Amino acid sequence: MFRNQYDTDVTTWSPAGRLHQVEYAMEAVKQGSAAIGLRSKTHVVLATVNKASSELSSYQKKLFKIDNHIGIAMAGLTADGRVLSRYMRSECVTHNFVYESPLPVGRLVVQVADKAQVCTQRSWKRPYGVGLLVAGLDETGPHLYQNCPSGNYFEFHAFAIGSRSQAAKTYLERKFESFMDCSKVELVRHALHAVKESLQEEELSSANCGVAIVGIGEPFVILDSKSLQAYIDSLEEGKNDQAAKLEVEEEGNAAVIERQDISGGAGVGVGAEGEGPTDMET
């Protein structure tokens, strides 16, 4: 994209009717490493490509738990993503306090979109430089949404954002019609296949990807490296008994401590504030 005369301010329209600053913000999302989401009738799976800026550093956290029933994957400026996830968590806690029920995913997504839109219409602000894939469950079932820096939001059966996401999207477009009836294990495998497409030359391992799942009767959980490695191994062997073993192992290897249900409310969140290398983008 070459520089334009009308791109200095987010509040300046170009003669072609575009806001270039907003488009540049969406460009930042495309530069981040890939995030993929897909859903079935019962589950939503998020997967991310984890890129470490150097061998010495740890990779940026891109998967965040927002509430027991909602989680996000982000691509782009993860600092902006952390701020948004803090906002989303706070909205969920407030809604739970006032209504004693979980915040429907669609409503949260609209609130985030409206927040993003404000930054496209103030001269002293800049748009958020992060795209979110929001996976959640509410009374109407499992949902997957995308939030853009532009303030738009879309619902998807499956989607991918970030760099080399087109490869993942091609895989998803081929397979998405079968997703609705997939079991959880099959859905995670599809997600890992899609991540593999984005990784291209690199070998898939629990070190360079992350997976999170939310489903009916299952709170949002980010898989720990042991469970994740088990899924990756099962991809290569493609055996059914591996899949059965995974189902059993998973009950034991919950990555996140879960609260008892007596009083309801959110379980443990993942994603400490202030972790990760100094790179802005992932």
Partner 1 sequence: MSMVFAPRMAEAAPSSHAGASWSPYDNNGGTCVAIAGADYCVIAADTRMSTGFSILTRDYSKIHQITEKCVLASSGFQADVRSLQKNLDARHQIYQHQHNKQMSCPAMAQLLSNTLYYKRFFPYYAFNVLGGLDNEGKGCVYTYDAVGSYERSGYSSQGSGQTLIMPVLDNQLKSASPLVLPPRESSTPLTENEAVDLIKDTFASAAERDIYTGDGVEIVIINKDGIRRETMPLKRD
Q: Which residues bind partner 1 (CB under 8 A)?
A: 65, 89-90, 93-94, 96-97, 100, 257, 259-260, 262-273
- The candidate with the shortest Cα–Cα distance to 131, out of 189, 193, 187, 62, is 62
Count other Cβ atoms within 10 Å, centred on residue 224: 14
CB of 259 to partner 1, least distance (A): 6
- Within the chain, residue ranges assigned H as helices are 20-31, 78-99, 105-118, 165-175, 184-199, 225-237, 240-252
> Which is nearer to partner 1, 21 or 85 (by Cβ)?
85
CB of 218 to partner 1, least distance (A): 18
> Which is nearer to partner 1, 41 or 107 (by Cβ)?
107
> Which is nearer to partner 1, 79 or 235 (by Cβ)?
79
**In this structure, what token pair is assigned to residue 26?**
């969406």
Supply φ then ψ for residue 49, to 5 degrees: -95, 120
CB of 255 to partner 1, least distance (A): 11
- The candidate with the shortest Cα–Cα distance to 209, out of 233, 183, 228, is 228
Judge contact between 200 and 164, C-beta under 8 A. yes
CB of 262 to partner 1, least distance (A): 4
Judge contact between 270 and 63, C-beta under 8 A. yes
> Which is nearer to partner 1, 95 or 169 (by Cβ)?
95
CB of 72 to partner 1, least distance (A): 13
Q: How far apart are CA 47 and CA 191, in angstroms?
A: 6
> Which is nearer to partner 1, 118 or 264 (by Cβ)?
264
Q: Mark 256-273 as b/e (b = at least 16 C-beta within 10 Å).
A: beeeeeeeeebbebbbee
**In this structure, what token pair is assigned to residue 96?**
């739970």
> Which is nearer to partner 1, 18 or 107 (by Cβ)?
107
CB of 67 to partner 1, least distance (A): 8
